[in-house]
Amino acid sequence: MSARDTVLASVRRSLGVTGREAPRRSAADDRLSRHPRGIIPKRGKLPEKQRIKLFCNQVEDAHGTIEQLASPEQVPAAVAAYLRSKNLPMSVRRGSDPRLEAIPWQSEPTLEVLLGRSDGNELASVSHALGAVAESGTLVLASGPDNPTTLNFLPDHHIVVVDADDIAGDYETVWDAVRDRFAGKLPRMINWITGPSRSADIEQTHLLGAHGPRSVHVLVIGKP
């Protein structure tokens, strides 16, 4: 008997079932296909204006920083200003996500914009989030040909662009958006990011910048 069969047989023996019972099978199938929502906290169900305000507050609570911009055209200047404020070289790396491609980067001629995955040598990256969750100030990023995962973790400073329209109140709303966009399957990697990397492993002292980015800066586009 294979290890697989041994484990499943032992589970079934303990549960006193065969695995063929129709009511059990339909209960499990039903949950998987209907994926019912659980309890959504009230703060996850706020109207738009308050929702965006909550998101901004939660990002800051998680030690991130945030800026609201009226349009994508303002992104290059905001990125350049952020780099200057941190005394960083005028260079970022980004994926070729269409929403990032559409940004007029040449409007900031001193800003070098590199493309593709990170090999750990750049100080700052720019990503576009697929969505965000107001209840905890969480950004949701999906991997794909145009969105390298390495850009989320290797650079010291991570700048994330998100459309105000994509800021949901709760996680469940974002999951539905992901299901729609990727036809029911998940991309290889979904990263929820809530503030910069941190550790409290030394005497429970809270320190930022453990292995991932030391800072996370969010640019919200639209409806300032």
Partner 1 sequence: MSVQLTSPQFKGNARRALADPQLQKALGNVGQNFVEKRRQVAAKLPEFDALCDAARDLKDHTLAHLDLYLEAYERRVTEQGGKVHWAVTSAEACHVVLDICKRVGAKNVTKGKSMISEEIGLNDFLAANGISPVETDLGEYIIQLRHEPPSHIIAPAVHLNKEQIEADFRRAHQSLPPGRNLEAPTALLAEARSVLREKFLAADVGITGANFLIAETGSSVIVTNEGNGDLTQTLPKVHIVLASIEKIVPTLEDVSTLLRLLARSATGQEMTAYTSFSTGPRRSGDPDGPGEYHVVILDNGRSAMLGGQFREMLRCIRCGACMNHCPVYHAVGGHAYGWVYPGPMGAVLTPALVGIDKAGHLPNASTFCGRCEEICPVRIPLPKLMRHWREREFERHLAPAAARWGLGIWAYFVRRPRLYRLVTRIAMRTLSLLGSRRGRLKWLPLARGWTRHRDFPAPEGHTFQSRWKRRARYMP
Residues 130-149 that bind partner 1 (CB under 8 A): 135-138, 143-145, 148-149
Query: Which residue among 126, 132, 134, 154 contacts partner 1 (CB under 8 A)?
Result: 154
Query: Which residue among 74, 127, 197, 215 contacts partner 1 (CB under 8 A)?
Result: 197
Q: Is 127 in the site for partner 1 (CB under 8 A)?
A: no
Closest among 79, 49, 83 to 67, alpha carbons compared: 79
**Residues 129 and 168 sit within 8 Å (Cβ to Cβ):** no
Q: Is 222 in the site for partner 1 (CB under 8 A)?
A: no
Provide the residue count of the chain: 224
Which DSSP string do the residues of 66-129 spell out, in sequence order? EEEESSGGGHHHHHHHHHHHTT--SEEEE---HHHHTS-GGGSTT-EEEES---S--SEEEEE-
- Residues sharing a CB contact under 8 Å with residue 198, sequence separation 6 or more, in sequence order: 63, 206, 207, 208, 209, 210
- Rounded to the nearest 5°, which phi and psi values hold at 97? -50, 135
Here's the x/- map for partner 1, 17-56, by CB under 8 A: it reads as x-x----xx-xx--xx--xxxxx-xxx-------------
Query: Which residue among 47, 87, 110, 120 contacts partner 1 (CB under 8 A)?
Result: 120
Q: Is 113 in the site for partner 1 (CB under 8 A)?
A: no
Query: Which residue among 114, 116, 165, 181 contacts partner 1 (CB under 8 A)?
Result: 116
Closer residue to partner 1, CB minimum distance, 72 or 95: 95
171-190 residues near partner 1, rule: CB under 8 A: 171-172, 175, 185-190
- The secondary element (H helix, E strand) that includes residue 51 is helix 48-61
**Residues 197 and 214 sit within 8 Å (Cβ to Cβ):** yes
Closer residue to partner 1, CB minimum distance, 77 or 200: 200
Query: Which residue among 11, 70, 77, 102 contacts partner 1 (CB under 8 A)?
Result: 11
Kindly state the tokens that stand for 36: 């019912």
User: At closest approach, how far in Å is the CB of 40 from partner 1?
Assistant: 8
Query: Which residue among 117, 165, 223, 224 contacts partner 1 (CB under 8 A)?
Result: 117
Query: Which residue among 46, 62, 69, 88 contacts partner 1 (CB under 8 A)?
Result: 62
In the chain, what is the straight-line distance between the N-terminal and C-terminal CA atoms, in Å? 63
How many residues touch partner 1 (CB under 8 A)?
81
Judge residue 206's burial from the number of C-beta atoms within 10 Å of its C-beta, 0-12 exposed, 13-18 middle, 19 or more buried: exposed
